[in-house]
Each structure stands twice: as C-alpha cells, then as structure tokens.
A and B are shown apart, each in its own frame.
Chain A
Amino acid sequence: MMDGALTSERPRPGADTSTVHSYSVRICHWINVVACAYLLLSGVHIFLDFPELYWGNTGYRGYPAAFRLEDWGLSWDEAGALGDRRWGRNYHFTFAWVFLLNGLVYVGWNLYSTHFRNRMLPARDELTVAHLRTELRDHLRWRSHTRNCVGSYGTLQKTSYLILIFVFVPLMILTGIAQSPGFTAAMPALLDLFGGRQSARTLHTIGTVALVLFVAVHLLEIAAAGFFNQIRSMITGKSTVSIHSGTRK
C-alpha cells in the first residue's frame, strides 16, 4: 500500500530501487519518533511548572538559580499556566518506558544482525584526517554523501549516530533517573556522578536542547539528501538509486 503510493512519485530515467533500511530499523525508528515527541512535549510541560534550574543537590524558589525563565521574559505564573505537570509526568514516564524498551530492542536486534558492525562502525580508511576533511568540506558545501551513495552512511553520520546511541541517550536516561528519590535510594552513585539531583535536572534540560538541535540537523541532512526519497526509504525500506551512484562528484 504505502510502497505503491509512494513509488508513484515518478522515478527518474535510469533510476532503480534498492532496500536500504531493514524492518527492525524502520519499526524502531518510527516508534522512537513518537516516543521522543511525547518525551519532549511532556518534558516541556514538567519544566514549565517549575521553570528554574539549579546546581548541586539543593534548589527551590528563592535559592540561587543557574537559570530562571523569569529572566527571559516569562513569569512564574505565566509559565505555570502553560505547563501541566500532571499530564507531563504521566506521559513522560510512560514514553520513557516506550523509548527505553524500543531502544533495547533496536540495539539488541542490530547487534545480533550485525547491522552495527556492517553499517555503523566507521571503516579504518574512513578515519583518516584526509578523508574526514574531505567529508566535512563536502558537508559544509551542502553536498550530501547519502545523495551520491545510497545505502551507506558517511563517516560523520556514523560517528554522530554512535555517540548519540551509546553516550548521549544513556546520559539522558541516567540524568533522568538521578532525579528520582526511589532510583537514587537504590543507586546513590547517580547523585555523585552528576553532582546532585538539581545538577542532574539541569543537565537533563541541557541534553534536551542538544537533542532538539540534533534532530534539527538530522532533518536538514534529510532535506539535503532528498527529502521524499529519504522518508520513503525509512517507511518502505526502498530507495531510488542513481545508476551513477558509484561515482562521487
């Protein structure tokens, strides 16, 4: 159904289609999109109900703050009227579980199917300074690697995905549960790791901003690589491959 509808987008002469994303990647990707959208929205709701950030273990209204939304033009009451922490907390923790379980399935499935080894780990010759410099230059000139070579990731792309999955996401989960009185009773080291509960909350918020920027860049990259072809490949798994795909211009 989906396939037929989308491939009716007229293929260019000399174009062919090939499978670029496995089922597991596609299913997990879209579950992740829904989970992250809810996590962001509910997280903003939770934040607006207490729109100040602190450093260390202690932080309350009147305590020296690292960030106050009030200083940026939105008063405490205005922020409170926009935020709904009941809705926020319910959905944040629900989709945190969806995000976590989906992520474990994704990582488990792809480690098992050697997806990570074959596609995500940069090859040795990709990690040379010369190669990285060329790729970065192409990148800044808005010449997408993916457009030329469908079905494989650029080195910068691979590296950023790996850092995201194995460093950034675990840090978001840990700074999240480091705010929980229950989890920190079981794992007090979390408090030491981030310098306290309020530090963890602040880092969790900074991480959210970083993730939003990551998604923005991700969407720009997709636009650069051909938006419809990229979206289609993440839905149907198929992508239009130019017969010139081998030659890099």
Chain B
Amino acid sequence: MSKRISRRAWLTSVPALGGLLVTGCSRETFVPPRVRGGLIGAADVLTMSTNRLLLSGQQLAREYARSDVADPFPTWNQTNPRNEEYQRHLSEGFRNWRLPITGLVERPRELSLDEIRSLPARTQITAHVCEQGWSAIGEWTGAPLQRVLEAAGGVTAAARYVVIDTFDRWYEGYDLFEVEHPQTILAYGLNGRALPRGNGAPLRLRVERQCGYKNLKFLRSIQVVDSMAGFGRGTGGINSDFGFHWFAGV
C-alpha cells in the first residue's frame, strides 16, 4: 500500500517539475538551441538544466572587494578588430557609434553610447572566468541588458533569444533567462575608467555566470529573435558553431 502511494506521489511530481519548467522558464532555459548528438549532447542538456535549476532564483555571481581588482585587467584574444568601420569609430572616440536594437522588440531603435550611459547603471566587481583556465577580477560598470531592451520597448511575446553581434565578427545567442539576470550588463566602464580597447571598447557584454567566450567584446548590434536557426550554422553562437559548448556555465 505504502509503495503504491509513493509511486503515485512520484508520478504527480513529474507534472510538478513540468510546471516548474513552464513558470517563466521555457525549454530554452534548460536545453541549448540545438542539442548535439550522442553522449555529448546528453551531457550538454544535463549540465545546462542542472545549472539552471540551481540558479532558478537568479542568484548573483559573487561580487568582490575593490582591492581584489586586477588593474590593468588582462587582455586576451582579439584586442583590436581589423575592421574598417571599427577603426573609424575608434578614431572618432565612438561619437558616431550606434547600437541598433532590432527584431522582436516593441520599438526597434538605435542607442548612442551617451544614451546607454544615461540608462540606470550597475557596477559589479566580478571574476571573469576564461574556459581556458585563467580568471581575473574586474570592476564593470554598465547598463543592464534588460534596461537596454526596455529602452526599445521591451521584447515581444515571441522573443526567445537575444543575438549579439560584434566588430570582430563574433556572434552569440542568449536565452531570456540569462538576459533577465541583474548582472547581465552591457559594460562601458572597467575599473572606474572608460572600457579600454583591449577589453572590448566601446561596449562589451558581461554574463557573469558563463565563461569568458560568452562575454562578447566590441559590440555592434543586438537582435531579438524567436529561433537561432538562421544564424551561422544554427547552433546558437560562433563558439558552438566551432564545437564548443553553447551553454558555457562550466
């Protein structure tokens, strides 16, 4: 008898878990845009869904003290995109640089650097964790991505991913769970000064719960979409197009 009850309890817990998945979090919260085949794909889903269940309270990544900051902050990979348009903006001090916000937002628009600076700002002293193994702490100042999207009227009901494009020809997709996190900011300041070129001027993304390669530098545009299918090889980002994890929480 007791066995039957426990089985029933177990069975009813399945829809409960399903309900958890639905409340504010859809499939995109737990599963990468395109699941790879075989054991690797199964592990991807386990890693991402475990992370997201543990982070369902949208906890903040640890913030450190000012004395922990690495200054100058190390630079890695691309430090000066060889792109004509970028070089022009750089020489003009990014006065004429604009960030287009298009796709599934209520009022698509462009934002200048000053307009982004005038949005409510957040400063956070966090660790940048590179998947290669290094980590360094920096003080990042920027506008929460959610506020930036709200400046374009907010995302529509069909929105599933935010795609960010850069001047060094990188692009990455982010599910809305990541976008809504308070520490997900578009940073224009590092260690109390304007973001240096080597660290991604004029604007870079901070997603503090994922590895370095998801923290794009040299931002060029933002697009809100319902699917990652039309971008690159359709895996959801340039890193996963090349076989790295799409979800870089580990």
- Seen from chain A, the residues whose Cβ lies within 8 Å of a Cβ on chain B are 46-47, 49-50, 52, 57-63, 85-86, 89-91, 93-94, 96-98, 177, 179-188, 191, 197-198, 201
Contact = CB atoms under 8 A, between A and B. Distances in A.
A85 B132 contact: yes
Interface string B118-136: 0000000001011111111
B47 A97 contact: yes
B209 A181 contact: yes
B55 A93 contact: no
Contacts of B208: 181, 185
Contacts of B47: 93, 97
Given A97-B47, A181-B210, A86 B243 contact: yes
Contact of A86 (B39, B211, B242): B242
Contacts of A183: 51, 54, 249-250
Interface residues of B, number: 38
B226 interface: no
B158 interface: no
Interface in B32-65: 39-40, 42-43, 46-47, 51, 54-55, 59-62, 64
A60 B136 contact: yes
Contacts of A177: 250
Given A58-B70, A185-B55, A98 B39 contact: yes
22 contacts: A50-B133, A52-B133, A57-B127, A58-B68, A59-B135, A59-B136, A60-B74, A60-B130, A61-B134, A63-B70, A89-B244, A90-B244, A93-B245, A97-B43, A98-B39, A98-B43, A179-B129, A183-B249, A184-B62, A186-B55, A186-B59, A188-B62
B35 to A, nearest CB: 13
B244 A49 contact: no
B224 interface: no
A197 B70 contact: no
B31 interface: no
B186 interface: no
A58 B38 CA distance: 36
Contacts of B59: 185-186
Contacts of A96: 43
Contacts of B43: 93-94, 96-98
Given A49-B133, A182-B51, 16 more contacts: A46-B133, A50-B132, A57-B64, A59-B135, A59-B136, A61-B74, A85-B131, A86-B242, A89-B131, A89-B244, A90-B40, A93-B250, A98-B39, A182-B55, A185-B59, A201-B133
B46 A97 contact: yes
Given A90-B243, A97-B47, A185-B208, A198 B39 contact: no
B134 A191 contact: no
A162 B63 CA distance: 38
Contacts of B137: 57-58
Interface in B55-88: 55, 59-62, 64, 68, 70, 74, 76
Given A93-B47, A93-B245, A181-B209, A191 B250 contact: no
Contacts of B209: 181-182, 185
A199 B148 CA distance: 37
Contacts of B249: 180-183
Nearest to A49: B132
**What are the 5 closest A-B residue pairs judged by CB atoms, nearest first?**
A182-B249, A50-B133, A186-B54, A60-B134, A94-B43
Contacts of B243: 86, 90
Nearest to B245: A89
Nearest to B43: A94
A21 B161 CA distance: 51
Nearest to A90: B40
